A = this chain, B = another copy of it.
Amino acid sequence: MTRQPPAPEPLEARLVQAEALCARRGARLTKLRRDVLGLILASPEPVGAYALLDRMREQGASLQPPTVYRALDFLMAQGLVHRLERLNAFVGCHDDAPHDHAAQFFLCTACGKAEEVDDPAIAEAVAATAARRGFAPLRATVEVEGLCAGCALSGSDRGGSSTSPDGPGPHRPHSH
């Protein structure tokens, strides 16, 4: 029990769910697209397009960048994955009935994880400001960088933490 892969079981369930969703919409979740979605869902962190490409190739596929991007476009159109602009990377959508829904992301610079949140208060605040300006919003990107609860604790809690000896080492420096 040195480390338990964080719930390997739901993966297949989520794929099945995605299949059903696409079927209901008349969209075709092909093997390729399903594989890409699987890799994204299996990743504990956001994945870049080229990382996906590499992983697909490791699994024996022989693809070029456009193929992966097309699959990603499809998955985003179905609301099954989100793109994180700050990271140029992709995450699975956490929503059960995904489509347009507005989402916000909290990106931990220490552990690299991205938490999706669907907070109406934020969406409403944005919508209200837009309305006040006569702006007709189509999509909102909300991405907050910082330290997640776990990393904030182990980082500031010097003198009692059992986890990391000197706080969260930056995940990918990612200067930007």
| Contact surface of A with B, Cβ cutoff 8 Å | 73, 83, 85-86, 104, 106, 108-109, 115, 117, 119, 121-122, 124-126, 128-130, 133-149, 152-153, 175-176
CB closest residue in chain B, given A152: B136
Task: Give the one of A119, A134, A135 with max B CB within 10 A.
Answer: A135
Is there an interface contact between B134 and A125, defined as CB atoms closer than 8 Å?
no
Partner of A143, one of B85, B119, B124: B85
- Assuming the A-B contacts A106-B135, A135-B106, are A129 and B141 also in contact, with contact meaning beta carbons closer than 8 angstroms in the complex? no
Is there an interface contact between A137 and B126, defined as CB atoms closer than 8 Å?
no
Tell me the minimal C-beta distance from A115 to chain B in angstroms: 7
This protein's copies in its complex: 2
Is there an interface contact between A144 and B140, defined as CB atoms closer than 8 Å?
yes
Give Cα A153–Cα B135 distance, bound, in whole angstroms: 10
CB-CB < 8 A to A121: which residues of B? 125, 128-129
Additional A-B contacts beyond A106-B137, A142-B142 (16; CB < 8 A): A85-B143, A104-B129, A106-B133, A117-B129, A117-B133, A121-B129, A122-B126, A125-B125, A134-B153, A135-B149, A137-B145, A138-B147, A140-B142, A140-B143, A141-B144, A141-B145
Tell me the minimal C-beta distance from A118 to chain B in angstroms: 10
Give Cα A134–Cα B128 distance, bound, in whole angstroms: 26
CB-CB < 8 A to A128: which residues of B? 121
CB-CB < 8 A to A122: which residues of B? 122, 125-126, 129
Is there an interface contact between A126 and B104, defined as CB atoms closer than 8 Å?
yes
